[in-house]
Amino acid sequence: MSLLNMTFRNVQRNFRVYTIYLFAMITGVMVHFTFSSLMYNQDILDVLNNKESFQTGVSIASVVIFLFIIFFILYANSFFMKQRKKEFGLYLLLGMKESQITRMVFFENLLIGSFSLVIGILLGGLLSKFFGMALMNLMQYDNVITLNFPYQAIGSTIILFLLLAIIASIQSFFMISRVQLVELFHAKEKMEKPIPSSFIMAALSLMLLATEFFLISRGKESSIWQDHLTFSMIAVTVGMIGGTYLFFRQFSGWLLHKIRQKHNYHEGNRVLWISSLRFQIRSNTLNLTFISLFSATIIFLIGFVSINYAVQFEAVGRNLPNDIAFQSLDKETNEKIDARIKNSEHSIEYHKTLEALVGKPNTNMDLAFENPEYFSKDVFLFPEKAYNEIISLRGNQEEIDLEDMEAVSLSQGTDSPKSFPSDQLPRFKVNVNEDITLKLIEKKDYALLGWASDPVQSMLLKPAVLIISDEAYQDLKSKAKTVHFEIYEIENEKQAESLSTDIHAIVTKKPDTYYSSFADVYSKQIEGSSLMLFAAAFLAVIALFALASVIYFKQLREATEEQRQYSILRKIGTADRELKSVIRKQLLFVFFPPLVLGILHSWLILKYYILDSVQDFPQLTSMLWFIFAIYFVIYVLFYLSSADLYYKIVNQKY
């Protein structure tokens, strides 16, 4: 019989096992082709304002997706090789060479890979249209995406899975060559021994986890993080990884041992599932640690990019509150710009001209503006009347009322806005052709003018703005240098890139002239955050599939190894309902702790290092709980399907 004939017969004989492998391969091809085809889809590229960044981002995400695909394909291949050790032992006994077995496995991989390529590319092409439309929706574009099979994506997918077939065959060769013939026949007969548990090590696992939780909950602004950053990071890392590992290695063993010592240990079916778990601790430890940390990573990734996406819509408006704003030029140029806006597709909702005094700060800018390197060197002083008028037009009712030399600094982007006590008002000195001292009563996270922008470079610098009383402004106006700003609010400002480019070209003919446009930044920020969310969702799908593979193959292996024990239980009269109960309890102990630890790890980091930094967005907490709920439901489905699979395998005739 030729190797090719043996290959076909092996696939037919092990169809149940190969169905799992085939499904993994098809899914890998489908996801890789879907993502790759988006990078070359001309319908998407035509609508984007930043094509290079999009393709770079997709390329980076493709590499990560490729690594995930390699991971779970090789994990699946490793499982198959262990399951087939007796079969390979028989081949060796009959005189086949290791190289012949390796070639046979290579042919099997090529056969399955070829079928997976055809099916995966066809399904991936269909999905690329759907996901392309989803990406356009995230970016708030209404362009139609056509069905497309880019040859670049097809070529990269073929190369990927040829490479996978070669790597899997090399892995198979080393696994076969390192095992003795006698060991092959006893591959499934090895029994694990329970790991001796220690109360001290069990307590240490809880102490490490408690240390991690405590340090994270202190928040990044706490003294322990500010003064001992390196120590805190090391302690959190050790607590998270070491604590999780010891929790499953020692604490779970100690807990099961304590349950075993109870007087009611032999009641019901407790003895069956506890005994099985005690013998599985050694092999379960790394898997459960991986599942916990991997779950935390997946949840954190999705939570972070979802928050970033949700915040971007409002954050762009806060950073650039004016649809178009620029420093007034000569009358002719101002009229030219006004005519260009009126002749565009963007109707003017309002147009205001603001006057400000220009000053030079004599006090350290840190006092009034957080991260002063992002602010202009000159300070612009606006009267409270102009400020209140603009915020009223924006629908903001938080007007300010100032007296004498009181002032409010607009430190847009600050993490710590504050109002100063009346007896501790900071003094901020400014020169407006004469030295004046202003009393800061508040530092606000707000922008009157917003970032200076550029159609290419996006955000540049923020004008340093102080709001002073009307009386003080009138007193200083005659002595100080004044400057005017034109503020436009227009319709459909999100699609005003072309208009902004034209006006920017006119304004910047005079060097160092302030110009700001909402559209310059909006499209880039939304495209970037949408791509991050889209790529993260793809990575999460692959990661969940990899996680499911780890769980699925592990349960498949354990169930296969325990067929004999369950066969004996059935022969002595144990009912099927009792067997199902044992399996569910046993798997619950395996599934529930990693889920809880994974959610705790991710929630603490998201809560104290992400949510606390964006407290102006209370809806984000609900969004995170929704993500947790979805992950919980998916995990429960993993649990139920694993329990069902486990029962079907152990219920087969042994």
Q: What is the pLDDT of residues 382-432, one digit of tens each?
A: 999 999 999 888 887 778 888 888 999 998 888 778 888 888 888 999 998
What is the H or E stretch that residue 383 is in?
strand 375-383
Number of domains in the chain: 2
- Give start and end residues of each alpha helix (H) in 247-269: 252-260
Give the confidence band of 208 by pLDDT, cuts at 50, 70, 90.
very high
Is 454 domain-assigned? Answer: yes
pLDDT at 296 over 70: yes
Is 179 domain-assigned? Answer: yes
Looking at the chain, the whole-number percentage of residues with pLDDT higher than 90 is 9
When mean pLDDT is compared across 151-160, 193-202, 619-628, the lowest value belongs to: 193-202
pLDDT at 654 over 60: no
Q: What is the pTM of this model?
A: 0.74
**Model pLDDT, residue 485:** 92
Smallest CA-to-CA distance from 527 within 36, 40, 124, 56 is with 56
Is 446 domain-assigned? Answer: yes
Is 602 domain-assigned? Answer: no
Smallest CA-to-CA distance from 47 within 525, 527, 455, 529 is with 527
If one counts every other C-beta atom within 10 angstroms of the C-beta of residue 630, the result is 12
DSSP letter for 467, please: E
- Residues 647 and 583: their CA atoms lie apart, in Å, by 7
Give the confidence band of 168 by pLDDT, cuts at 50, 70, 90.
confident
When mean pLDDT is compared across 91-95, 113-117, 147-151, 596-600, the lowest value belongs to: 91-95
Q: Are 176 and 98 in contact (CB under 8 A)?
A: yes
- Residues 257 and 379: their CA atoms lie apart, in Å, by 70
Q: Which residues contact 398 (CB under 8 A, 6 or more apart)?
A: 391
Q: What is the mean pLDDT of residues 493-505?
A: 85
- Residues 538 and 37: their CA atoms lie apart, in Å, by 13
Which DSSP string do the residues of 282-350 spell out, in sequence order? HHHHHHHHHHHHHHHHHHHHHHHHHHHHHHHHHHHHHHS-SSEEEE---HHHHHHHHHHHHTSSS-EEE
pLDDT at 184 over 60: no
Q: Are 34 and 130 in contact (CB under 8 A)?
A: no
Residue-wise pLDDT tens digits, 237-280: 999 999 998 888 888 878 877 777 776 655 656 666 666 666 66
**Model pLDDT, residue 367:** 86
pLDDT at 207 over 90: yes
- The dihedral through the CA atoms of 38, 122, 113, 152 has a sign that is negative
**Model pLDDT, residue 484:** 92
**Model pLDDT, residue 11:** 63
Alpha carbon 15 to its chain's center: 36
Higher pLDDT pick, 449 / 271: 449
DSSP letter for 178, please: T
**Model pLDDT, residue 580:** 81
Q: What is the mean pLDDT of residues 353-357?
A: 92
- Residues 76 and 534: their CA atoms lie apart, in Å, by 27
Is 39 domain-assigned? Answer: yes
Last residue of a domain, one of 190, 225, 245: 190
**Model pLDDT, residue 355:** 92
- Residues 438 and 425: their CA atoms lie apart, in Å, by 9
Is 452 domain-assigned? Answer: yes
Q: Which residues contact 577 (CB under 8 A, 6 or more apart)?
A: none
Last residue of a domain, one of 434, 464, 490: 490
Smallest CA-to-CA distance from 381 within 399, 403, 358 is with 358
Higher pLDDT pick, 534 / 239: 239
Q: List Cα–Cα distances, 115 to 21, 314, 653, in angstroms.
A: 12, 47, 31
Q: What is the mean pLDDT of residues 124-130?
A: 84
When mean pLDDT is compared across 254-268, 306-320, 389-403, 493-507, the lowest value belongs to: 254-268
Is 387 domain-assigned? Answer: yes
Q: Are 70 and 164 in contact (CB under 8 A)?
A: yes
Q: Where in the sequence is the domain holding 425, given as residue range(s)? A: 348-490
Last residue of a domain, one of 466, 490, 514: 490
Smallest CA-to-CA distance from 651 within 573, 563, 583, 565 is with 563
Is 511 domain-assigned? Answer: no
CA distance between the termini of the chain:
29
DSSP letter for 485, please: E
